[in-house]
Amino acid sequence: MINKNETLSARRKRASEIVRILSETYPGAHIALNFGTPFQLLVATILAAQCTDVRVNMVTPELFRKYPTPQAFLDAQVEELEQAIFSTGFYRNKAKAIRAACAALIDRFGGEVPSTMDDLLSLPGVGRKTANVLLGHCFGTPGIVVDTHVKRISNLLGLVHNEDPVKIEFELMEVVPKESWVPFSHLLADHGRAICIARRPRCQVCPIAPLCPSAMV
Ligand code: SF4
């Protein structure tokens, strides 16, 4: 049973311990998308919607060789661009989204990816999740990325009691140590793939089971 009456300080202590154990369990946890610049990471995150990071990483080297700048994406033949990203799925929408973001970067930010949450959110197709990915990995501004793993496992752990991604982000910022905000989502992603698997969590072998109110052991 999740204890909804747990004090904030007790929850913070538990969150720190969870992060510590997961960091030891998954020392290689890191962003799975390959990128060299903020612009490349922006494009990669758009391509990663409904697609695996592995697949995106197969597509982006050639894509960025062909289209190295926002202007190059705008100058591209749409059909050629769609062909280049076809294997990531939803290629028509993604081509549109990439080009809309490129147009906004050129119109309002001199062709560069902006470095604040507000400016990032003003780009078409960029929500808090993508903005936090960019802020945390390119601009040294920690944020908590709330993806499906973070949403599901944070609730199972009783670190949050919410289904709304924005509310989850802010609730987690209250309890997860700030220095762990960026790695937090990578740790939960690795844990969600290896042990806390959706619909069949392996609680018997889970190193954070003693700290998890949902543990079935
Ligand atoms: S104890 Fe079970 S439900 Fe809790 S985090 Fe571990 S695998 Fe997930």
What are the pLDDT digits (tens) for 46-73? 999 999 999 999 999 999 999 999 999 9
CATH 1.10.1670.10 is held by the domain 8-30+144-211: yes
Distance, CA 99 to ligand 1 centroid (Å)? 41
pLDDT for res 2: 52
148-153 own/partner pairs: CB under 8 Å, 24+ apart:
148/192, 149/185, 149/188, 149/189, 149/191, 149/192, 149/193, 150/184, 150/185, 150/188, 150/189, 152/192, 152/196, 152/198, 153/188, 153/191, 153/192, 153/196
Pocket of ligand 1 (CB under 6 A): 153, 156-157, 195-196, 201-203, 206, 208-209, 212, 214-215
Say what the pTM is: 0.91
Region for 43 from its dihedrals, namely left if φ exceeds 0, alpha if ψ lies in -120 to 50, beta otherwise: alpha
CATH topology of domain 38-112: Endonuclease III; domain 1 (1.10.340)
For the chain, give the mean pLDDT: 96
- For residue 203, the ligand 1 atom closest to its alpha carbon is 2
| CA nearest neighbour of 127 among 166, 74, 96, 91 | 166
The segment(s) of the chain belonging to CATH 1.10.340.30 are 38-112
Give the model confidence (pLDDT) of 139-171 as tens digits. 999 999 999 999 999 999 999 999 999 999 999
d(CA 151, CA 129): 12
d(CA 142, CA 179): 8
Looking at the predicted structure, is the pLDDT value of residue 125 above 90? Answer: no
CA distances from 3 to 64, 203, 213 (A): 48, 18, 7
pLDDT for res 217: 79
Of the residues 129, 151, 167, 178, only one is catalytic, namely 129
- Cβ-proximal residues to 68 (8 Å cutoff; 6+ apart), any chain: none
pLDDT for res 3: 66
The segment(s) of the chain belonging to CATH 1.10.1670.10 are 8-30+144-211
Mutate to test the pocket of ligand 1, among 206, 211, 216, 217 (most ligand atoms within 8 A of CB): 206
Tell me, yes or no, if 119 is annotated catalytic. no
Dmax over Cα atoms in the chain, in whole Å?
Answer: 58
Distance, CA 198 to ligand 1 centroid (Å)? 10
